[in-house]
Amino acid sequence: MAQLNTVNGQQETGLYEMSNVNKLKLLAALSPEAMQAFVAFDKAALADGAIPSKYKELIALGVAFTTQCPYCIGIHANKAREWGASDQEIAECVLVAAALRAGGAVTHGTHALTGP
């Protein structure tokens, strides 16, 4: 459960409260052109194309697991399910993401070695 903080007598939501997503409207109001461009880009990137939307959502979900963004995990897991992804497909996505993240640690670890 997220902890609520009080600043200047007003309650703030915690860092990863899903209600923070509602602040996207404020972001759009403060920077409308950039936000409109972002939304259009996001929509185009995830649209059906050579890669079907279901697989694009699974890709996005895998990236979200590696970036560890709870907002993205929730949003893209739901979207993947809307496109017909099963729990088994999502589970495999979890493990592919874990393997890639672990692989990055292993290969970057070679930089710490002094041997041939």
Domain shared by 62 and 106, yes or no:
yes
Domain shared by 106 and 53, yes or no:
yes
3: pLDDT strictly greater than 60:
no
Mean of the pLDDT values across residues 109-114?
94
What pLDDT is attached to residue 9?
Answer: 60
Residue 54 near residue 85, CB atoms below 8 Å: yes
The span from the CA of 103 to the CA of 17, in Å, is 31
Q: Pick the more confident residue, 93 or 2.
A: 93
Range of the domain at 6: 1-46
Domain shared by 113 and 68, yes or no:
yes
Q: What is the pTM of this model?
A: 0.79
Place of tokens 């041997």: 115
Domain shared by 77 and 88, yes or no:
yes
- Amino acid, res. 60: A
CA distances from 60 to 7, 70, 72, 101, 116 (A): 35, 12, 8, 15, 38
If one counts the domains in the chain, the total is: 2
Domain shared by 58 and 30, yes or no:
no
Q: What angle do CA 66, 71, 74 make, to 5 degrees?
A: 85
Judged on CB neighbours under 10 Å (0-12, 13-18, 19+), 26 is: exposed
User: 27, 46, 65 — which closes off a domain?
Assistant: 46
Domain shared by 63 and 101, yes or no:
yes
Residue-wise pLDDT tens digits, 29-52: 999 999 999 999 999 999 999 999
Q: Pick the more confident residue, 20 or 94.
A: 94
CATH code: domain of residue 64: 1.20.1290.10
Q: Pick the more confident residue, 6 or 53.
A: 53
Tokens standing for 4?
């609520």
75: pLDDT strictly greater than 60:
yes
Domain shared by 42 and 84, yes or no:
no
Mean of the pLDDT values across residues 70-94?
96
- Amino acid, res. 23: K
Tokens standing for 38?
């972002």
Q: Pick the more confident residue, 111 or 17.
A: 111
The span from the CA of 14 to the CA of 1, in Å, is 9
